[in-house]
Every structure is written in C-alpha cells, then in structure tokens.
Amino acid sequence: MKRLLVTGASGLLGINLALRELAHREVTGIINSHALSGIPFPVEALDLTLPGRIEHVLADKKPDVVINCAALANIDDCEKEPAKALLTNSTMPGWMAQECHKRGIRLVHLSTDAVFDGLQGGYRETDTPHPLSVYAQTKLDGEKAVLDACPDAVIARVNFYGWSLSGKRSLAEFFYNNLSAGKQVNGFTDVLFCPLFVDHLADVLMRLADSDHSGLFHVVSPVALSKYDFGCRIARVFKLDDRLIKPVSVEDGGLLARRSPNLTLNTDKLRKALQLVLPGVDEGIQAFAGQLANGHPQRIRKFLV
C-alpha cells in the first residue's frame, strides 16, 4: 500500500482528504498549532518552517506522495504578519519541493485562485497572475519556489468549502451557521468565484497525484457564481431563510486585504488531462448537506482537542 503524507492535516482540506484516503493508502498527517485526539491515522506535530524538520519527516515516514496543504491561509492575518506569511506560504514549500525532488517523492502543492487580480475572469493556467494581497503574493511565490525546485510537482490552484474541525473554516459553514441561528449576514454580489466541495477536490487531487501530469492546474468548480448567490443556494438546500443574506458590495465589507472581484478560472486543462467531468456547485452543496445528515461534522469535531 502506498504511503501518503498530508501536511496541514488539521485544516479543512487536510482532514477531509486524509480521512477519504485511509481505505487506499497508509496516511500520516502533519499538524502544527491544532492538537488532535482520537484521529484514525497517525499524526505528528511539527513546525515545518524550522530548519531540518522537512528532511526529518520525509526520511522517517518515507512517503510515496505528499499533499502539501500547510499554509497561513487567513488573508487578513497575512497582511498583519507578512514575514510569517512569506516563510509559511513561500519559503517552506520551496524546501518541501527540494526535498521531495531529491527523494523522488510525488508532490502536490496547494495554491489559490487569488493569485489573479480578478479584473478579467475566465483565467487559464497560462495567464499572468497579478496578486492584490500579501496572502496572494506569498502563494504565488510559493508556486514558483515549488516548480523551480521540483519541476515534476503538481500545483493546484483551488477554492473550496466543506465541514472543518472547528466548524468555522469555510464560506459554506459561515452561511449555514449564521442562517440556521437566524442571524443576518452579508453576501457579496460583486465577487465571483468557482467553489468546489472539499471531497470532490480531494478526489481530483489524488487523481493528479497518481497521474504523470505536472505543473499548474486550476482545480475548481466549472460553475461560477457570486458569493451572495452561493449563500442563497446554501439557504435553499438547507431550507433556511435566504432573506437573511444582505446583498452588498465587497467594498462595504470592512475587509483589511483587497479581494479580487472575478476569480472565475478555466478548467479545460484539468478536464482534458484527467478526462473527467467536474461536479458543479449544486452537486457539491447537496453532498455538503448529506454529510451533515450523516453526522460527519460532529464526528470530525471530536478530533479537535
């Protein structure tokens, strides 16, 4: 059985991907600031930004595949701590790529749709990025560092949602939590994106890992919509009151970092490479609702100490 190492294993993608792959691979998770207990695969607490830690874990675990989900992903926190964002999102992935390349380990590194300024939309992998925030710039720098050190790596630009350990990590959770509590929330009408359900994303990432493909891929939903529309779709599926969602402009959102208005990405390269039909937003939200019905969020929250 192949060995899989998942960094950022306490994050939204890390935990869900690791749990899905347990039946197919020997999974080890790397965590940093969030302690986990009772989780059905081994985890190790390591700060991968410290010298020597990456070499240690790769030599010890000897993975066949690394999925690098570790990141400083809070956009406004990156604005406040740019040096930490650079180390976590740029320098550390470069170290990881260098060590994976040296050892012949397959690497899939997670990046973001936010590397684009959102003035155009419909972005292809060949389009020139123009990041607007510290987070976006450091993630773009991380892409370059990974591919420079390990040209055979896969870089996946993503935007996703699902159930997290804390219950507060994704936009879908934000809408569900507030609407189910009867609270009014803002929904940006002028921010377009292509969110992919986390389990659908995990499946595609593992298909890329098992393929011979390398380089940049846009791994998002083929359906684009505004964040306001996304919230309304969440409300309808869960039979909540979509009138609680106030349609507003992102300019009135009180956010610290600039957001890109149109982050629609073209997925032709991915679909052609893997010969697949990507699931849309409605299929994803139905699956998201199905997980609530079968108790998935409650089960994974028990892992968080």
CA–CA distance, 285 with 245 (Å, rounded to integer): 17
- Token pair for 45: 């607490």
Is residue 31 left, alpha or beta, with left meaning phi > 0 and alpha meaning psi from -120 to 50? beta
Q: Which residue type is seen at 221?
A: S
User: What are phi and psi for residue 121, nearest 5 degrees?
Assistant: 85, 170
CA–CA distance, 54 with 7 (Å, rounded to integer): 10
Active-site residue (options: 123, 135, 161, 228): 135
Q: Is 135 a catalytic residue?
A: yes
Alpha carbon distances (Å) from 160 to 45, 143, 169, 192, 261: 25, 18, 10, 13, 17
Surface-to-core class of residue 71, CB atoms within 10 Å of its CB (0-12 exposed, 13-18 middle, 19+ buried): buried
Could you tell me where the DSSP H helices lie in the chain? 12-21, 53-61, 75-80, 82-86, 92-103, 134-149, 171-180, 198-209, 227-237, 268-274, 281-293, 296-301
User: Three-state SS for 271?
Assistant: helix
User: What are phi and psi for residue 225, nearest 5 degrees?
Assistant: -160, 165
CA–CA distance, 299 with 305 (Å, rounded to integer): 13
CA–CA distance, 39 with 15 (Å, rounded to integer): 9
- Which residue is it, tokens 């039909």? 277
Q: Which positions are catalytic? A: 135
